[in-house]
Amino acid sequence: MEVQPNRRVVITGLGVVASIGHNAHDFWASLLAGKSGINRITHFDPSDYGSQIGAEVLDWDAAAHMDPKDARRNDRYTQFGFVAAKQAVQDAKLDVSHENGDRVGVMIGSGIGGMHTYETQLRVLDERGPRKVSPFTIPALIGNMCAGLVAIAYGARGPNFGLVSACATGAHAIGEAAHAIRRGDADVMIAGGSEAAITPFAYASFCAMKAMSTRNDTPQTASRPFELKRNGFVMGEGAGILVLESMEHAQARGARIYCELTGYAATCDAFHITQPDPEGKGLSLAMNRALASSGLQAADIDYINAHGTSTPYNDKYETLAIKKVLGDHAYQIPVSSTKSMTGHLLGAAGGIESVICVKTIESGMIAPTINLVEPDPDCDLNFVPNTAIQKSVRTVLSNNLGFGGQNASLIFRAL
């Protein structure tokens, strides 16, 4: 087919697996209600850990949503991503056939990959020897397997890979998927992020970094972005997936279109392996470039879904970067961090937060930042404290930052 360059990209399908909802509908309802998905860890005994809390996906039966054999052979992160992708494809009413499969691609990333498989099989090696290690170990733990499994299930033979950029992964996957459509490499992309890192080794590692909240006695108030007494992020798990299409493809098949993805940019702080640039240079550059790529001005932004991890540095420096880019307009619009309810899903954060951006435009409701009692004086924007608000929203900016100084900004806009 003849492809026109720089095609418009629209969103036609949403899928979510998270602690506060196993589908987009339930997830969104929980966010608007200010529901926290954070509790004491049940996946393992956390008694010896500094942080003993997380936003787990409970009552999870992957075999109820996918082939039981595939569920057994694949890691928890792949299960989450596969099921969220299935939801998104169903929501989009997308039919992938032999005739159009060459024009459908998949980009689903994970910041860490199959950590459950990695830890389980290391124990098998240590306790039972090398001959007992599962032959499915490598396929289960590698970070591109979710994208591969989704493609196999639907016969999607277009561009396919799993991105890895820490906590910016999901947003990068969506942005790069949009680029693939604009270049003409595909008409449809299934894209987002998935993560399942609530495991003993991952927790021990993050605890050693002093990165996670130790507010173990009050888990549901532990994630408190932009709050003066915040003391670290809370781990979450799950997946967020979008179906992206070229405008002409979606219109030709009569698809329901949620909104358009108009802007995307990826930058690096080039400053520190874990700490954001204290002047917000890298994130400011990402936001400015996303605005430029969308043909919009700062004053066009109606709402920002912030990265807002509840760590001392991130929240302060992200606030600074937002004010640098938006100027006085930053004080006129709501900015919220939904990680206060979902926890931080690492590589999946950009995926579920993109779903939130789309639902915000669709519903005219903005999810709150819960647990915001005493704002940090350095974080002086309207962070939508504790209660959802109603507001007509046409344009949403979403930020995600990752270890290594990696930044991603996405802009979604109503048609």
Chain centre to alpha carbon of residue 16: 10
User: Using CA atoms, how far apart are residues 345 and 18, in angstroms rounded to an integer?
Assistant: 9
The catalytic residue among 22, 249, 307, 357 is 307
Place of tokens 């060459």: 102
179 assigned to active site = no
Q: Is 167 a catalytic residue?
A: yes
Among residues 207, 344, 357, 379, which one is catalytic?
344
Selected catalytic residue, list 146, 167, 207, 379: 167
* Residue 213 φ/ψ, nearest 5 degrees: -65, 140
**What is the distance between the alpha carbons of residues 56 and 116, in angstroms, rounded to a whole number?**
14
Report CA-CA distances (Å) from 17 to 64, 109, 342, 346: 14, 15, 11, 14
Closest to 358 (Cα-Cα) out of 83, 7, 9: 9
For residues 135 and 140, give the distance between their C-alpha atoms in angstroms, rounded to a whole number.
Answer: 9
CA distance 10 to 102: 19
List Cα–Cα distances, 6 to 18, 68, 187, 188, in angstroms: 33, 41, 12, 14
d(CA 353, CA 260): 15
- 307 catalytic? Reply is yes
The per-residue b/e assignment along 30-69, b for 16 or more CB within 10 angstroms, e otherwise, is bbbebbbbbbebebeebeebbbbbbbbbeebebeebbeee
Rounded Cα distance between 382 and 386, Å, is: 11
Give catalytic residue positions: 167, 307, 344
